[in-house]
Chains A and B, each alone.
Chain A
Amino acid sequence: MSKIKMTANVIKQDMIGPDIYSLWILAEEIAAQARAGQFLSVYTKDASRLLPRPISICEIDREEGALRLVYRIAGGGTREFAGYRAGDTVTVLGPLGNGFPEIAADRHVFLIGGGIGIPPMLELAKELNCEKTAVLGYRDAQLFLKEEFEPYAEVVVATEDGSVGTKGNVLDAIREQGLIADTAGHLKLPAGEAVKQKPAAPVILACGPTPMLRALKAFAAERRIECWLSLEERMACGVGACLACVCQTGGVDAHSNVHNKRICKDGPVFEAGEVEL
């Protein structure tokens, strides 16, 4: 697999939530290799903004050679991206990072996304061929991408303001709705529904703000649930050279020879037990 830097054509762009944009680009060489959980470095046209913006891949259309990026305006660079229209070009480098692991068909996957961590979970929802529950955490009733998960997964929503679904965060929704078996193996099910004899072994795949990931890591460790987390950090090179975007690891990493891994190259997806959050 090789990383490709290219100028891609913008197919279309839509605002799909408050300051949240959906950008489809034509990038055949990257789309052919990309997998869920990887990201692109996106370069601004304004030369005063030097560094590429790392943006996760939301959807991959391998037939059309297209990629979808869903991002939130966080500053001048992403504001520039939000102005792109069909026919414009954008320079990108990718696919970067490792992506999520393959999951066996007999597992029950919990795709957990918080805020702007939701987009990379959509491609996973489309690709995984197993029992799937998406737990999506939003600030309020602006439920961007929620309907797009529905064909692929059971969708559970948490909102910070309580306007839709569980009031609180994704973990509150998991607890309140008894989605993941407790330590004794019991699922809390709606009255009248038969308890499954042997629920499929759960796997948590998550992307979102660090406090959410930290809570999920503790939750998964307590219940001995397999858990993979997609991390985020300020990056410079995006390819593993500059050592800006490190995360702490429990053990000594082979590359760094210290307790640091590179999120851009060794991640962004890590087995939860491997990283210290």
Chain B
Amino acid sequence: MDLTNEQLIQMYTTMVKIRTFENRVAELFADGKIPGFVHLYVGEEAVATGVCENLTDKDYITSTHRGHGHLIAKGGDIKKMMAELFGKETGYCKGKGGSMHIADLDLGIMGANGIVGGGPPLASGAALACQYMGNDNVAVCFFGDGASNQGTTHEAMNMAACWKLPVVFINENNMYGISCCTTKSMCVPNIADRAAGYDIPGVVVDGNDAVAVWEAAAEGINRARQGKGPSLIECKTYRHRGHFEGDPCTYRDDAELEEWKEKDPIPRLEQKLLEMELLTQSKIEKIKQELQKDLTAAEQFAEESPYPDISGLLEDVYT
């Protein structure tokens, strides 16, 4: 099955939506309007977009500390996201969770996760539930290169492989776990190489190419839906910004960043869609204006929303 023209335009729009949201969050954070930490997804948009284009609301995703892109690609409400980032009561977690805890169970979003390697066991658990319920829903686990070295990831993959669970592990290899390059934290060049140890398919794909990611994810997700078990797809990508906002990035050089910016997934798809005459400059402008309007509304909603009342401090606390 091929991507339809509508899907291609939707994927482009989703990537621009993520980029626009993240760039504004960077500005708001710098202005001191967002408390806590934010880890931005700028540069990695093709991964979440390409994968989630294959999913329905009944499918599950688990996310990471860099989760805004996953949430938007899975259909998350940017008003509630922005309100949560502002720490407001109208946010996804009533303003008490912040960037790293946003979840929307109605959309199958099991949550961003501040614990590196926290997502894989949740994804295998969700996949076990799908298998137990006998439906053809799947779970997708987004996880980073740092998480790939955590024991939880090994346990989750091993169990998923043993039980042929309908889960697809999507590794976002952006080359750095905080400041540590994968060349120093791993003894194999590809995280996908580890799939052989679980007897599951493991493939490497260009994570800055939304169509390439879509193709690989489509195969892995269909495989999972058909009861053939898990797979591991490693998407090679790069974050344009630091690990967190404020990170001086002294551990990587400018030339590396510039080279990856040349492989920016958004202009790549934009150029292709212009060639295919699916987009025109005026259509692009219109898409961007609409997104900007929605973003402005989300920001206003967040600004105008109240902070949670102190009386609710101990509500929604799970131990």
A and B part of one assembly:
no
Q: Which residues of chain B have a CB within 8 Å of any CB of chain A?
A: none
